[in-house]
Amino acid sequence: MERGLIIKKQHLDKIYDDGKIWEMRSSPTNIRGRIGLIESGSGLITGECEIVDCYKYIAEQARQRLFDWLEWMHCHQVSDLDKLNKWRYPWVLKGAKRYAEPIPYKHPKGAVIWVKLDSLHK
């Protein structure tokens, strides 16, 4: 794993425990493959998953139609649909697993979305 994605705990718990498979973001990603899942503010890689896609077309079409976001609620699990005006891009996750023991890492200054993991383990 080369990268870790920083996600707030409330969303990570939904990914691990409730079947959330879309991580909603304000911009698309071209990154695919296995990534670490980092709990924001914790200094810990708590698990991993695979990014398999990013639905750009849904973002452009569905942001104007509330019905579409409701239809896909089981994927994104965002209860405040107004937030989807900003978070318009579903990053599609697969095979998320929580580690029994989280892995500490050194958080680089300025990292907000991604962390390069190759040399950052404590």
Supply the pLDDT for residue 67.
57
Domain with residue 21: its CATH number is: 2.30.130.30
Q: Is residue 118 part of a domain?
A: no
Where the chain has pLDDT below 70, the residues are 57-67, 119-122
Angle at 22 between CA 20 and CA 26, to 5 degrees: 135
Q: Is residue 87 part of a domain?
A: yes
Supply the pLDDT for residue 66.
56
Q: Is residue 120 part of a domain?
A: no
Supply the pLDDT for residue 70.
81
Supply the pLDDT for residue 34.
97
Supply the pLDDT for residue 118.
74
Domain that includes residue 40, residue range? 3-108
Q: Is residue 82 part of a domain?
A: yes
The predicted model scores a pTM of: 0.88
Domain tally for the chain? 1
